[in-house]
Amino acid sequence: MALFSRNEKSSSEGRVKVDDRLRHIAFILDGNGRWARRRGMPREFGHSEGAQAFKRIVRYCGDIGIKIVTVYAFSTENWSRPKKEVDRIVSLLDEYIDGAERELTENEIRYTFLGDRSVFSPEMAARMTRLEEASAHYEKRLNIALNYGSRAEIVRAAAELAASGEPITEESFASHLYTAGCPDPDLIVRTANERRLSNFLLWQAAYSELYFTPTLWPDMQPEDVDRAVEDFYARERRFGGVTDSN
């Protein structure tokens, strides 16, 4: 049985198609710095290229029918990098958000930001909230983890839940995470040959499939996504149970 169908027509719509088994794909984008250093360029240059890859890959995921994409763009730990680099990453993200606001009706994407936005400039934080509100009615989703750390998210959820007096259940807890209302990722892809989660979606990744590729994020192409999707469909997800084949 074909587990996913290839689109025979060569169209800009992409080659693989996904079904409801792969509703949500998350990317830990990594390798921007190495990509630039290998070219003798400053790390900031890698982040600019990484921003292009970000747009390319999000668009492609939408084309092949993935309903939810989450991208880990900046972690709570990334503040420890040199100021020049941090400033460049933040300004690239701000530019991206500005562009997303302008292209809202063209792209038809619902944006959600995961993380504490209060550390950014009031203008940028307001842009983020405006974009979330203006896009809330669209079906396809893009979650951008920005100043995100999973441990901070879990502690925040625990504090909110304790203050609310609600009964403590997995459901009530999850409803206080930044990802409230969003299904867990089916597949998490990390680029640049690192094999760790680096404080990303620790709760939500409980049963996610993990895929690692040596490709550096700025080099990521639709074909790399195809490979990850094919790999995903060749797996058997058991969620702790047993199936006919085991």
Which of 84/196 has CB closer to ligand IPE? Answer: 196
Q: Which stretch binds Mg ion (CB under 5 A): 30-38, 64-72, 116-124, 215-223?
A: 30-38
Closest CB to Mg ion: residue number: 30
Q: Which of 80, 68, 47, 100 is nearest to 217 (CA)?
A: 47
140 binds ligand IPE (CB under 6 A): no
Query: Can you tell me which of 22, 24, 27, 30 binds Mg ion, judged by CB under 5 A?
Result: 30
Max alpha carbon distance in the chain (Å)?
A: 55
Please report, as residue ranges, which positions from 76 to 95 form the binding site for ligand IPE (by CB under 6 A).
78, 89
Place of tokens 């900046």: 74
For residue 163, the minimal CB distance to ligand IPE (Å) is 29
Which structure tokens are listed for 166?
């609600």
- Assess whether 78 carries a catalytic annotation: yes
**108-144 b/e (C-beta count within 10 Å ≥ 16 → b):** ebbbbbbbbbeebeeebeebbeebeeebeeeebbbbb
Check residue 29 for interaction with ligand IPE (CB under 6 A).
Answer: yes
Identify the CA nearest to 148 among candidates 198, 219, 185. 198
Residues of this chain that bind ligand IPE (CB under 6 A): 28-34, 72-75, 78, 89, 192, 194, 196, 198, 217
Judged by the rule CB under 5 A, the positions of this chain that interact with Mg ion are 30
